[in-house]
Structure 1
């Protein structure tokens, strides 16, 4: 076995592109950091559950990064550093990782960190009773965790997993108090207990979450900008869905930090610092139901849909250059991104019409929509109000309008959360839109892997079974050779684009408006805002 306290040379070489790291610390000038004070961070979306093993929402990761620590830290450059594990060893065959834990770590309930806590956290994530929506999928290769002694745990895998360290660095696998996992099974969503720089205080639904400084915190990850307890006394996260209200709260001083829609970036630049970083993972994407018997099972219809829409102009007109057009199913900030997919197809409604004619959709009804065997060419696209953030509703309306010009009806319908859950469960939809943050190309397996179903903590909501793509994604995560991994993931990205498996739309950016008297807010590897080092100038 080989020992490392950073990423192995193999994993270091996997980084082909990294997320830029912004920090409000650059604005401090001669001011000196202070301790104390209350900071309020306004965000558009409320989490569904604060048990990190359950939720898949980005906002859950943002909040939980303050509450939970991870075994390792991924830096913005893609390298891995000690955190709760002070060092680790990897078996030559890549099927086992042995972690040696640092001493003196205590959870917010006073429980001591030990190897049994790590095992309990990982076992909880993969337990079907947890109903994980993401963490279980990250641990698809997990077989068991073996406790050697109080400070040593070995994670055993069914196959090599080149993404394991990145997996274990995410807040979705933050280490939980074993006492809480054991004694508070029904309250994990609303009473999270970790060992992070802030501890959970309360959650007022539809209003906000309150956190307080954990004064005993003394185990910051190696390489972190700030070491030791958080500087702030309290951190409050408020949920304000309306962009204008949220940004008005920032400019008026009611909140000190706010996420900022790309289209509104100019409105805050005069009154606040603007921190910006490109998000790794999956771009904002329209996923297509190409399962058997679906209208989009015909590749010609999928190709026609993407030819029918002028995405270049649509993205430019909505985001004014803050977000760029996406081409690949990965963002450029994701390791092993392949730029060869750029300009793979063009806006060409004449070609879209030709493809639809070739596919047999030759007739038109009185509304101008295409027909085949008496059936209208209709694509169902339900969405919720939360999915309209960042003006994505304008993307939906634009696609709907331009698709109609070639005879495709898109039913872009606003529904409630319960309804969309039912539709997804019945697979009674043709389009589904989402972006997803992860600084590893294995995010592709989450969406396109045959076994990455909702029941297994994956995001393959249409149950797609594409053997050639599935093999690429399985080989990619199982291969430890960096050059081979690059080839595999390049092939996978090209396969998705060439076969119109999905429709990438734009590359999200994480934008934060930060009041000018607030310093030390920065982005982590997954474009997650970090508040442990934040402070307020007098």
Structure 2
């Protein structure tokens, strides 16, 4: 089971700060050109959309569905580069606290309303107050001001290295100001995107169908006449759908990949998430043993990551001891093997810390993680740590772990850009730092990243080194996303640091 952080969770994927003024048309994001005559695309989706209000959009799996109806202010290319979309230029002031956007003047929403600076302001203001699942993306916005018919000035309360990335994500989706906040937009999106929802062909919880917007401003992004998203929350249903040809592309997992591989489908694998233990209680509030860094390090040394990857994930991934991903500037290659499996070392560290006889650790258990946690329990037990697994309903799991009910918890978290990872797991207001652990040294390093401009990612290496040395986490591995396609019908490019490709990354097969 994968989880994606919701509103209470800190920021999502981030992008490089201090992009100087850019100009030009929206990027290709795949193969250029309009749709092939009569071409259609059907994609299997793991998630449903409960509301098409753009302020309710969520990162990851929901992105392609929203992208059918809505444009973003900035466009993120498959490799993570930011390109113009509804904003043609963007520029920060000297201290990166004021961002000025120059907007397109030739765009209208599907209800005929013109897109302009007033519309952009209305959307940003609405996003800030609507309390959507990614509301944290707007946290740093102090004000949005119209600076001209086609220009807005966004003032931030403090430098935010993630902000331009957010404008390519949920925060950047622009809906018609006439429809924002209405009940109607929840089921009938009103955007300026490449497609318009076919309400007759859409059933919430089952499928969403979109047809080509005849007045769309960027024909190169309209590669299909019709796009359908089938909601397939069940793993077996997804593999059956792609094997039988009901869908052209879908995300599977190691338990279903064998059936897909036998069917001659194309597999695209790419790392997005890390999975492992978050050692929350570093101050020893509820688990006094965890206050000692040697105990946290012992937990890391006790984990046989290679065996776990082989048995639990069929080898689909890479072992690691760091939470920052390979696609970021914060990544340090040597940290992947910082805690190689060493039971003797683990026992020695526990003895040095005064726990030669071991101790008991309370850890939550999801029904879907029984096999994972059984292996964790066995391996920690072998060095003297007794794991007491407490069953938690899936609906309560995230709430429980971010409210400090447990000293340690398993989770699966995407490896986004450095500032996002920091805001998500490391700052004192991060959702996945519920005990608010910090230190003067760490805070100084975090501050340096926030104000570091185009050096922010590189500066985050010090944060990475600190949390690995201090064993804030016990990662197991980076997990491969396993995306399958019918290569006779569709060509697709994966999206860096995202669970599934953006809609723009699909093209009819040549």
TM-score band w.r.t. shorter chain? 0.7 to 0.9
Deviation at 1:412, TM superposition (A): 4.1
Deviation at 1:11, TM superposition (A): 4.8
Q: Deviations over 1:247-269 (max 9, x none)?
A: 12211222221112145444323
Question: Which residue of 230, 234, 247 maps to 1:237?
Answer: 230
Alignment-derived partner of residue 194 in structure 1: 191
Aligned residue runs from structure 1 range 135-150, under 5 A: 135-136=135-136, 138-150=137-149
Seen in structure 2, the aligned counterparts of structure 1 residues 163 and 271 have a Cα distance that, compared at 3 Å, is same
Aligned-residue Cα RMSD (Å) equals 3.4
Q: Deviations over 1:302-331 (max 9, x none)?
A: 222112110122113333443111232111
Counterpart-to-counterpart distance in 2, 1:57 and 1:164: 14
Counterpart-to-counterpart distance in 2, 1:423 and 1:9: 33
Seen in structure 2, the aligned counterparts of structure 1 residues 193 and 470 have a Cα distance that, compared at 3 Å, is farther
Q: Decide whether the 8 Å contact of 1:36 with 1:231 is kept in 2.
A: yes
2:106 matched to 1:104? yes
Seen in structure 2, the aligned counterparts of structure 1 residues 63 and 502 have a Cα distance that, compared at 3 Å, is farther
Question: Which residue of 291, 300, 303 maps to 1:297?
Answer: 291
2:495 matched to 1:518? no
State which drifts further: 269-278 or 101-110: 269-278
Alignment-derived partner of residue 35 in structure 1: 37
State which drifts further: 324-333 or 258-267: 258-267
Q: Decide whether the 8 Å contact of 1:22 with 1:275 is kept in 2.
A: no
Counterpart-to-counterpart distance in 1, 2:384 and 2:303: 12
2:410 matched to 1:433? yes
Alignment-derived partner of residue 223 in structure 1: none
State which drifts further: 461-470 or 304-313: 461-470
Alignment-derived partner of residue 60 in structure 1: 62
Question: Which residue of 447, 452, 477 maps to 1:506?
Answer: 477
Seen in structure 2, the aligned counterparts of structure 1 residues 198 and 413 have a Cα distance that, compared at 3 Å, is farther
Deviation at 1:441, TM superposition (A): 1.2
| TM-score, L = length of structure 1 | 0.79
Counterpart-to-counterpart distance in 2, 1:167 and 1:504: 26
Deviation at 1:48, TM superposition (A): 6.2
| TM-score, L = length of structure 2 | 0.83
Counterpart-to-counterpart distance in 2, 1:270 and 1:401: 34
Seen in structure 2, the aligned counterparts of structure 1 residues 327 and 533 have a Cα distance that, compared at 3 Å, is closer
State which drifts further: 95-104 or 115-124: 115-124
Alignment-derived partner of residue 310 in structure 2: 316
Seen in structure 2, the aligned counterparts of structure 1 residues 179 and 9 have a Cα distance that, compared at 3 Å, is closer
Alignment-derived partner of residue 378 in structure 1: 361
Seen in structure 2, the aligned counterparts of structure 1 residues 402 and 8 have a Cα distance that, compared at 3 Å, is closer
Alignment-derived partner of residue 119 in structure 2: 117
Alignment-derived partner of residue 269 in structure 1: 261
Helix, strand or coil at the partner of 2:418: coil
Helix, strand or coil at the partner of 1:212: strand
Counterpart-to-counterpart distance in 1, 2:411 and 2:203: 27
Deviation at 1:513, TM superposition (A): 1.1
Q: Decide whether the 8 Å contact of 1:286 with 1:503 is kept in 2.
A: yes
Question: Which residue of 73, 81, 94 maps to 1:79?
Answer: 81
Q: Decide whether the 8 Å contact of 1:11 with 1:162 is kept in 2.
A: no
Counterpart-to-counterpart distance in 2, 1:474 and 1:188: 40
Q: Decide whether the 8 Å contact of 2:196 with 2:211 is kept in 1.
A: yes
Counterpart-to-counterpart distance in 1, 2:47 and 2:407: 25
Question: Which residue of 300, 305, 326 maps to 1:306?
Answer: 300
Deviation at 1:480, TM superposition (A): 1.3
Alignment-derived partner of residue 15 in structure 1: none
2:382 matched to 1:405? yes
Counterpart-to-counterpart distance in 1, 2:108 and 2:377: 53
Alignment-derived partner of residue 531 in structure 1: 503
Seen in structure 2, the aligned counterparts of structure 1 residues 481 and 248 have a Cα distance that, compared at 3 Å, is closer
Counterpart-to-counterpart distance in 2, 1:291 and 1:328: 17
Helix, strand or coil at the partner of 2:453: coil
Q: Decide whether the 8 Å contact of 1:231 with 1:534 is kept in 2.
A: no
State which drifts further: 152-161 or 417-426: 417-426
Counterpart-to-counterpart distance in 2, 1:516 and 1:124: 41
Structure 1 gaps, min length 5: 1-6, 13-20, 27-31, 221-225, 364-369, 372-376
Counterpart-to-counterpart distance in 1, 2:231 and 2:398: 25
Question: Which residue of 226, 240, 243 maps to 1:248?
Answer: 240
State which drifts further: 89-98 or 143-152: 89-98
Deviation at 1:143, TM superposition (A): 1.5
Seen in structure 2, the aligned counterparts of structure 1 residues 264 and 358 have a Cα distance that, compared at 3 Å, is same
Structure 2 gaps, min length 5: 1-14, 21-27
Seen in structure 2, the aligned counterparts of structure 1 residues 430 and 192 have a Cα distance that, compared at 3 Å, is farther
Helix, strand or coil at the partner of 1:145: strand
Seen in structure 2, the aligned counterparts of structure 1 residues 248 and 285 have a Cα distance that, compared at 3 Å, is same
Aligned residue runs from structure 1 range 92-491, under 5 A: 92-127=94-129, 130-136=130-136, 138-184=137-183, 190-200=187-197, 204=203, 207-216=205-214, 218-220=216-218, 227-242=220-235, 244-262=236-254, 264-279=256-271, 283-292=274-283, 293-295=285-287, 296-363=290-357, 370-371=358-359, 377-383=360-366, 388=368, 393-424=370-401, 426-437=403-414, 439-453=416-430, 458-482=431-455, 485-491=456-462
Seen in structure 2, the aligned counterparts of structure 1 residues 409 and 201 have a Cα distance that, compared at 3 Å, is farther
